[in-house]
Chain A
Amino acid sequence: MTEGAPYWMLWEETVGPGAHWSGLLRRGSTLRLTDVNGGGNAAVLLFNYEDRSERYNMPDTLKAQHTAFIARSVALYSDMGRVLCSVTDDTCGWHDTICGISNAAMVEKKFGPSRFQERRNEYYRNAYDSLLNELGKYGLGKRDLSANVNFFSKVTVNDAGDLAFHPGHSQPGAFVDLRFEMNCLVVLSSSQHPLDPATGYAPKEIQLTAWHSRPAPRNDPCRTRCPENERGFRNTEVWFR
């Protein structure tokens, strides 16, 4: 069992290197993503499980909290002014949400061709196809593949707006805890970040640990981070009344 996870754990599962996963996380549960070996990336999309037209919205998340990245105390907003989940703990400090995902052409150009026929399950995956695979299981598709979060990846900009990827940002064992404020469909790919300069195909496994927590209390640091979040949490609570 993951160190630090409480005894009221729900389940634990490992998403293999470059693999894809989806599942339901209910309001009042916490999902810990752990970058077991360091240097990993988890491309994640979030949907309201009951109404999947409501989903993670990158711009609304960033502008409500005046941040260009995800970290501790940040709330992940849907397009409906509600908080899907919030970051209650984070040993990594920076998670990208502006650079998107890899696709088949990108992976082949960087790492060369790799088909199932020759490589079996070692074949090179990409985040676009992987997320599409999971989305299809819920009647979702290309139209639902919007801007994602890349947990464990850090990309900064300079004053001119130029992007810089920070290799080695995520240390072995780094984790981020997402407390779910709504019942969410979570869709995940552990493919490498599209700006990862690694010359070889080397995605990392991501460990998932879920436990019962509870919705955010009044004095919660995510809720009190800014007046915007107080209103966002209020909107979320109305949905469950």
Chain B
Amino acid sequence: MIESALNPAQASFRHVIPAGEPWIGTVRQGQYFRILDLEGNQAVDTLFYRADTLEERYSATDTIRAQGNIYLTTGTALLSNEGNAMLTIVADTCGRHDTLGGACSAESNTVRYALEKRSMHSCRDNFLLALAKWGAQYGKDFSKRDLSSNINFFMNVPVTPAGKLTFADGISGVGRYVEMRADMDVTVLISNCPQLNNPCNAYNPTPVEVLVWD
């Protein structure tokens, strides 16, 4: 548990993402980016892209392998598919974050829960819509292939030495946060997870706040 010295009152950007909604934004190299779990036990599905190329993006497997550990926390360098540090986690009052659990989708909901769950709102719907609108704005053809394995900030997905993987009750709480320093200009794509079928967000999706300091 490493706390940050940065004062929210001095942040250059603050935005509350309502439960179940996407957010897309850019954080410049050297800026600090914080995600604040306002009400506790929320899951924040997050992808990072190099701001000027997009073909370079966060890579869960490279990040895990390079640090020799599956959990993300203070000191973790979030690596791209090119092996470059995109951001580094500099403060974390939650303890650890998941990058194996991926994002929920209409289709995976039919597998995990029931065929009737297909119409429930999902992180991938958030990702796809945000990416489509953003791509149209920049004249780029972004699609599902641009959604690689994401980070789930505040989510607890323990793996045992025998290789069992579970979604467990959250270890986050009201006011906990994770803070990163951007090592390059990055585009941040967030889905504030709307999942109602598992304990990743205590069955109760809630808002989170994103903050940026220069």
Contacts and interface: CB of A to CB of B under 8 A. Distances in A.
A1 interface: no
Interface string B92-115: 000010001111011111111011
B139 interface: no
A235 B149 contact: no
Contact of A53 (B65, B83, B145, B161): B145
B105 A146 contact: no
Given A103-B83, A146-B148, A66 B111 contact: no
Interface string A44-83: 0000000001010111101110111100000001011110
A232 B106 CA distance: 13
A67 B164 contact: yes
Contacts of B111: 60, 64, 77, 81, 228, 231-232, 235
Contacts of A162: 68-69
B59 interface: yes
Contacts of B68: 162-163
B69 A99 contact: no
A196 to B, nearest CB: 11
Interface residues of A, number: 49
B119 interface: no
B112 A161 contact: no
A235 B165 contact: no
B165 A63 contact: yes
A228 B60 CA distance: 24
A75 to B, nearest CB: 9
B10 interface: no
B105 A161 contact: no
A101 B81 CA distance: 10
Given A53-B143, A69-B163, A80 B107 contact: yes
Given A68-B164, A98-B70, A144-B145, A235 B100 contact: no
Given A67-B165, A77-B111, A228-B111, 13 more contacts: A53-B145, A57-B102, A68-B159, A79-B105, A79-B108, A81-B105, A100-B65, A105-B83, A161-B69, A161-B70, A161-B96, A162-B68, A163-B64
24 contacts: A59-B103, A60-B102, A60-B108, A63-B157, A79-B107, A79-B144, A81-B106, A81-B108, A82-B107, A98-B70, A100-B65, A146-B149, A147-B148, A148-B61, A157-B69, A157-B161, A158-B161, A159-B161, A161-B69, A161-B159, A162-B69, A163-B70, A231-B114, A235-B107
Interface of B: 55, 59-62, 64-65, 68-71, 81, 83, 96, 100-103, 105-112, 114-115, 124, 143-149, 157, 159-161, 163-167
